[in-house]
Amino acid sequence: MNDDFKYLSDEELNSLIESTEQSGLLEAPISFEAEVLKRLEKNNKVEIVSFEEKKKEYSRFKFQVCMAMAAAILFLVVAPFITASEGFTAMKEQAEARKTTTRETTSYVSEMLGNHLISETIGR
């Protein structure tokens, strides 16, 4: 054997081929064919049912993807109108005003997470 790559040398390979050819074929167990046919028959019945289920699952997935794409397109169309509205501008200003005001910590959760609106809401 070659130590660098752990391949058989030409002589070793030839001797392996000769010994394999001389030893002959091995026989399979007597019940091997019947067991294989039984398993194939069993697997085919299961695969037919699972294929139909996978087909339905794929249809549901396609529907969900189409709905997500439709929602994204709708959002892209509607978003400019929403951001240009006066109500959205007022909400944005209120949010900015809340950011600048200091709040007290109201509970243990607020102390642990810091002085944030979310932590105060959780702590109440």
Rounded to 5°, the CA angle 9-12-18 comes to 140
Range of the structural domain that residue 113 is part of: 96-124
> What gap in Å lies between CA 68 and CA 47, rounded to an integer?
31
pLDDT in tens, 45-93: 655 667 888 889 999 999 999 999 999 999 999 888 877 778 777 888 8
Task: Say if 121 falls within a structural domain.
Answer: yes
On whether residue 109 sits in a domain, the answer given is: yes
Kindly state whether residue 100 falls inside one of the protein's structural domains: yes
CA distance 79 to 112: 36
pTM of the prediction? 0.36
Give CA separation, 21 vs 14, 15, 25, 119, in Å.
Answer: 11, 10, 9, 77
* Structural domains counted in the chain: 1
